[in-house]
Chains A and B, each alone.
Chain A
Amino acid sequence: MVKFSNKIWTALRHLFERVLIAFWRRAAPVKTPPPTYSTALADNLQMHMNLVMPLADQTPVGRAQAAQAIAANIDELFSGLSNVGTVHFARFDLIGGNLCMYSVFDGDFRAYIRDFICVFGSVFDSLLGLVADPPPSPSALHPEAFIDWIHRHDSFQIPRDLTALFPEEKNLKNLSRDLVLLLDANPNVQLGRFSGYPGVSVAQIRHGAGLGW
Chain B
Amino acid sequence: MSARGSLDFADLQGNILRGYGKQYVRHLVLTVANPAAARRWLADASSGDESATPQITTAEPWTERRRTCVNIGITHPGLAALGVSPSSLNSFPHEFVAGMAARNVLLGDTGPSDPSKWKEEWRGEGPHLMISVYADDAADREATAARILAARGAFQLRAALEGEGFAGGLVHFGYRDSISQPQFYGVHDPDDRRDDQPFVEVGAMLLGHATPIENLRWEVPQPNVLGHNGSFNAFRVLEQQVAGFEEFLTACADALMNNPLSETLLPPGAEAGWDPPMDRRAALREMVAAKMLGRWRNGVPLALSPTSPSPQPRIDDAGLNNYGYAHDPDGQRCPIGSHMRRSNPRDAKTVQRNTNHARRLVRRGIPYGPHYDPANPVKAERGLLGSFMCASLTGQFEAIQYDWTNLGLQDPRITGSNDPILGNNDPLFSRFSFPVGDNAITFRGFSHFIHTRGGAYLFQPSMSAIRHLASLSGGKTARTR
Contacts and interface: CB of A to CB of B under 8 A. Distances in A.
Contact of A117 (B110, B216, B411, B424): B216
Contacts of B105: 36-39
B412 A114 contact: no
B214 interface: yes
B108 interface: yes
B354 A108 contact: no
B175 interface: no
Contacts of A108: 106, 394, 398-399, 402-403
Nearest to B417: A41
A206 interface: yes
B314 interface: no
Nearest to A106: B409
B110 to A, nearest CB: 6
B354 A115 contact: yes
Interface residues of B, number: 34
A94 B213 CA distance: 32
Contacts of B354: 83-84, 115, 118-119
A91 B413 CA distance: 28
A121 B398 CA distance: 22
B106 A37 contact: yes
A85 B415 CA distance: 13
**Interface SS of chain B:** loop
Contacts of B353: 83-85, 119
B219 A85 contact: no
Contacts of A39: 105, 108, 110, 424
Contacts of A213: 351, 412
B218 interface: yes
A145 interface: yes
B471 interface: no
A107 B409 contact: yes
Interface in B396-436: 398-399, 402-403, 407, 409, 411-413, 415-416, 424
Contacts of B215: 121, 138, 140-141
A209 to B, nearest CB: 11
A111 B399 contact: yes
Interface in B181-236: 213-219
Range of interface residues on chain A?
35 or more
Interface stretch (A157-165, A187-195, A197-205): A197-205
Interface string A133-174: 000001011111100100000000000000000000000000
B412 A206 contact: yes
A204 B412 contact: yes
B352 A85 contact: yes
Contacts of A106: 407, 409
Contact of A107 (B403, B411, B424): B403
Interface string B312-345: 0000000000000000000000000000000000
B126 to A, nearest CB: 19
Interface in A70-126: 83-86, 106-108, 110-111, 114-115, 117-119, 121
Interface string B265-285: 000000000000000000000
A145 B218 CA distance: 10
Contacts, number: 98
A152 to B, nearest CB: 13
B217 A86 contact: no
A106 B218 CA distance: 23
Nearest to B399: A111
B475 interface: no
Contacts of B350: 85
A114 B395 contact: yes
Contacts of B217: 140-141, 143
B403 A111 contact: yes
A29 B94 CA distance: 23
A7 interface: no
Contact of A142 (B108, B219, B394): B219
A86 B352 contact: yes
A44 interface: yes
A207 B214 CA distance: 29
Given A107-B403, A114-B395, A148 B94 contact: yes
Contacts of B106: 37, 108
Contact of A201 (B355, B399, B402, B415): B415
B407 A44 contact: yes
B386 interface: no
A213 B407 CA distance: 17
B93 interface: yes
A41 B399 contact: no
B478 to A, nearest CB: 25
Contacts of A121: 215
Given A86-B352, A118-B216, A144-B94, A207 B407 contact: no
B113 to A, nearest CB: 11
Contacts of A206: 412
Nearest to A44: B407
B219 A86 contact: no
16 contacts: A38-B105, A39-B108, A44-B407, A83-B354, A86-B351, A108-B399, A108-B402, A118-B213, A118-B358, A119-B354, A141-B219, A143-B217, A144-B93, A203-B409, A203-B415, A204-B415
Q: For the complex of A and B, list the 7 residue pairs with the smallest distance between their C-beta atoms, beginning with the closest.
A: A37-B105, A203-B412, A207-B412, A85-B351, A204-B412, A203-B351, A140-B215
Given A85-B351, A108-B403, A111-B402, 8 more contacts: A36-B105, A39-B110, A41-B416, A84-B353, A138-B215, A203-B415, A204-B412, A206-B412
Interface of B: 93-94, 105-106, 108, 110, 213-219, 350-355, 358, 394-395, 398-399, 402-403, 407, 409, 411-413, 415-416, 424
